[in-house]
Amino acid sequence: MCKTTDETSVPVYERIKRYILAHIHDGRWRTGAMIPSENELAETFGVSRMTVNRAVKELAIEGVLERKQGAGTFVIQKQFSQTFVTVHSIAEDIERMGKRYHAKQIFGGAQAYNTLPAEAQKLFTPQQTPYRVDVVHFGDDVPLQYERRWVDLNLVPKFAEQDFNIVSTSNYLIAQTPLVRGLYTIEALACPDDIASCLAMPAGAPALCLRRHTYSGELVVTLVQMWHNGANFSFTGTLE
Contacts 24+ apart (CB under 8 A), 207-212: 208/233, 208/234, 208/235, 210/87, 210/184, 210/185, 210/186, 210/235, 211/119, 211/184, 211/185, 212/87, 212/182, 212/183, 212/184, 212/185
Confidence of residue 117 (pLDDT cuts 50, 70, 90): very high
Ranking 122-131, 171-180, 231-240 by mean pLDDT, the lowest is: 231-240
Name the class of domain 90-229. Answer: alpha beta
Q: What is the pLDDT of residue 221?
A: 92
- pLDDT single digits (tens) 187-227: 888 889 999 999 998 888 888 899 999 888 788 999 999 99
**Higher-scoring residue by pLDDT: 49, 63:** 49
Q: What is the pLDDT of residue 237?
A: 52
With bands split at pLDDT 50, 70 and 90, how would you rate the model's confidence at 2?
very low
pLDDT for 86 beyond 50: no
- Across 172-185, average pLDDT: 79
Specify the 3-state DSSP secondary structure of 111: coil
b/e map 12-34, b = 16+ CB within 10 Å:
bbbbbbbebbebbbeeebeeeee
**Mean pLDDT (whole number) for 20-41:** 84
Map out the domains of the chain as residue ranges: 7-75, 90-229
Confidence bin at 58 (pLDDT 50/70/90): confident
Provide the whole-model pTM: 0.65
Fold for domain 7-75?
Answer: Arc Repressor Mutant, subunit A (1.10.10)
Q: Which pLDDT belongs to residue 143?
A: 94
Confidence class for position 25, pLDDT limits 50, 70, 90: low
Residue 176 carries which side chain, given as an amino acid letter? Q
